[in-house]
Structure 1
Amino acid sequence: MAGLVIPVEERAALHDLVHRYAACVDERDFAGVARLFADDGVLVLPDPPREFDPVLEHRGPGGVAAALSALDDVPLTAHGITGAVFDPGDDPASARGRIGCVAHHVSPRGGRFADAVWHLRYRDRYVRAEGVWRFARREVRLDLIETREVRASRLGR
């Protein structure tokens, strides 16, 4: 509803939701990520390098967990939320979000480690059920990908 403001405590809960998503991904807790989605929630991912827009749709907590398990081959990730804007949805139990993120994906390459840095934006729709905010839909839109050499990490040099 236009003109409505999301109360501070609800905004804080939405901030927690998006940061918890990033933390769970970095901790490889894909079941934890899946629990952040509504039962009918959808995660829509890009298909780089061919497609930077969200095109691969994964439905329900099982689909979300399965999609993120592709990160099992990436030994280290670090997601940093760079900005978060929340807007009211069509009713008090819904909201929308525009979330900026820089996501590092560190993998071995040629006896060293490389960091594929994704600069991305999440376009989210949230739903509140039984007092808890969940993702109804999360779309990942890539802006650019950089590749950097890693000098040192907890994985080694």
Structure 2
Amino acid sequence: MGKIVIRGVGGQVEQHAEVRRALDAGASGLEQPDAAERRRGEEVGGTVSIDMAVAVRELTDRAAITEVLHTYARLVDERDFAAVAGVFTDDCLAEYGLRETDTLHSSAAVVAWLTEQLRDGTATSHHISNVQISFSDADHAATTSYVYAWHGATGATADPVVLARYADSFKRVSTGWRIARRRMFAHGLVGFPDGILRPLSRRPAPVSGPPVTGGAGA
């Protein structure tokens, strides 16, 4: 499959119908950009050159990577900790918290850590959202995703909740995409002690002006 040239303004793809017709026609006989045009990339009022093979591969890979993130959440909530090893590379590095025992150097260590953390049978519900993926090459990707993790702790006055972000590095292996490195950053905690998770780095608040919490929020 060749390349499709889409004409637009300021990076906005405007001719969806034309692209759909081109795809349906097998992308045959489409305008082929020359080398200079490919190097220039997108310009205002210019053209966007799409390599269809790369575009299809990246769309497929994005779906596969997102599926890994969702699979992790489902397996943890099902307490199938042994199966969680399958979403990581064998030699992964996972940093879940600030304690030394929260830095894990293999998929087996991740399994052992989850088993220990939830050994009392606590029910959990992990929700993954805001997934963003960037590729450094065909076999490596960096992702960020948000996690809302509810914990139904027995005897707790309020159910603990972790509001956090996963910053992951993915690697393509023979069995598919796997997490090679994970760092977790806390957005906020409910019912957990402070200082156990790495806080998300935020820009400082403005020197003057009304506080956001006093307004309508965002």
Write the letter of the residue equivalent to 1:125: S
Equivalence for 2:165: 121
Equivalence for 2:182: 138
Equivalence for 1:154: none
Shift of 1:114: 3.3
Paired residue secondary structure (2:92): strand
- RMSD (CA atoms): 2.3
TM-score by length of 1: 0.79
- Go from structure 1 to structure 2 and tell me whether the alpha carbon gap of 1:25 and 1:139 turns closer, same or farther (over 3 Å shift): same
Equivalence for 1:87: 134
Task: Point out which structure has higher relative CO (alpha carbons under 8 A, 6+ apart).
Answer: 1
Q: Spell out, residue by residue over 1:113-153, the C-alpha distance to the aligned partner (whole angstroms, 9 max, x if none).
A: 63101100000000001250000001111111124xxxxxx
Q: Spell out, residue by residue over 1:34-60, the C-alpha distance to the aligned partner (whole angstroms, 9 max, x if none).
A: 11111111211114xxx7xx9831011
The share of aligned pairs that are identical, in percent, is 31
| Higher percent of residues as helix | 2
Write the letter of the residue equivalent to 2:78: E
Write the letter of the residue equivalent to 1:105: H
CA–CA distance in structure 1, aligned partners of residues 160 and 125 of structure 2: 11
Write the letter of the residue equivalent to 1:82: S
- Go from structure 1 to structure 2 and tell me whether the alpha carbon gap of 1:122 and 1:55 turns closer, same or farther (over 3 Å shift): farther
Equivalence for 1:68: 114
Equivalence for 2:9: none
Aligned length: 137
Write the letter of the residue equivalent to 1:10: D
Flag the structure with larger Rg: 2
Which blocks of at least 5 consecutive residues in structure 1 are unaligned? 148-157
After TM superposition, list the pairs within 5 Å mapping 1:33-48 onto structure 2.
33-47=84-98
* 1:106 and 2:142 correspond: no
Paired residue secondary structure (2:154): strand
* 1:96 and 2:147 correspond: no
